[in-house]
Amino acid sequence: MIDPTKVALFIPPGLKKFKLKLFEGIGQTIGRVVRDDPRRLDDVPSDIIPIIGCTPFLKPYIDKWTKAGRNYIYWDRGYARRVFATWLPRGENGGYYRYHLNAFQMMRIRDVPGDRWNALKLDVSPWRKGGRKIVIASTLSDYWALHGCENWIAETAAYLKTVTDRPIVIRDKESKIPLRDELADAHMLVAHGSIAAIEAVIMGCTVCVHPSCAAALVGITDLSKVESPIYPERQPWLNSLAYSQFNEQELVDGTLWRLME
């Protein structure tokens, strides 16, 4: 269990109004906040765990903390029942956000019950086979900068052309085409760490992703194997996803700190 008195939320500068409101709300709940200047994180005592989001200029800090073995918490929009930026049914009353210790996404399937997943009331489509095209899911510039892979889309598309003759479609993050429609004739969705990969698995489309993506636990990570997709049992993975995301009330009542890992 994480001690909520031993964490500090970093609020970066230049946030859009809705994001600033969200950060401020969480900051009030946590009570310890570091604002604007990332250099102030250097003054945070070693027994305090920084909480950070998808902020590109924090990459050197993440690298430094990882090398030194210092804990940090990464938070971002959740896997299912998010408030926005989703093609699944949305959440209510603030929706869900994911929190992970020393990781960007869920890195293992936990032995947890299905109560939290069942409470989300989301339909899971059967695995689909026989699709024709490969869809590459892009994402926003902040993500690429944080992960240091700004050329990933171009490099991935070029490599795929050497291992498959399938049509390749690059899906923009801001695409207005429903993801389910895009995947209707898809053999596979390829992504780095986009939550589109999580949604694709729930929609029944197999995926190839970076190992740091939670969908790697039910997909493949080797681009050279795109012609050999896998179709594993998903329920334990779904249960684990639900145990890795939390709403605002669960931040307040301590559920997040008790279940986060």
Q: How much is the pLDDT for 169? A: 97
Do 166 and 100 belong together in one domain?
no
Do 35 and 95 belong together in one domain?
yes
Do 80 and 139 belong together in one domain?
no
Residue 126 included in any domain: no
Residue 158 included in any domain: yes
Query: For 142, how many CA atoms within 13 A lie in the half-sphere containing its CB?
Result: 10
188 — pLDDT class (breaks 50, 70, 90):
very high
Contact between 186 and 179 under an 8 Å Cβ cutoff? The reply is no
Angle between helices 195-202 and 235-242 (to 10 degrees): 130
Do 17 and 64 belong together in one domain?
yes
Q: What is the pLDDT of residues 212-260, one digit of tens each?
A: 999 999 999 999 999 999 999 999 999 999 999 999 889 888 899 999 9
Contact between 201 and 230 under an 8 Å Cβ cutoff? The reply is no
Domain residues for 46?
A: 4-109+245-259
Instruction: Provide the number of structural domains found in the chain.
Output: 2
Alpha helices in the chain (DSSP H): 17-30, 59-68, 115-120, 141-147, 152-163, 179-182, 195-202, 235-242, 248-253, 255-259
20 has pLDDT over 80: no
Residue 35 included in any domain: yes
- Tokens representing 249? 């009330």
Do 223 and 253 belong together in one domain?
no
In whole angstroms, what separates CA 39 from the centre of its chain?
A: 26
CATH code for the domain of 144: 3.40.50
Do 101 and 171 belong together in one domain?
no
Do 40 and 95 belong together in one domain?
yes
Residue 220 included in any domain: yes
Q: How much is the pLDDT for 154? A: 96
Residue 240 included in any domain: no
Give the pTM: 0.93
Do 8 and 102 belong together in one domain?
yes
Q: How much is the pLDDT for 217? A: 98
Residue 116 included in any domain: no
Do 49 and 69 belong together in one domain?
yes
- Tokens representing 64? 């430094």
Report helix, strand or coil for 261: coil
Do 96 and 139 belong together in one domain?
no
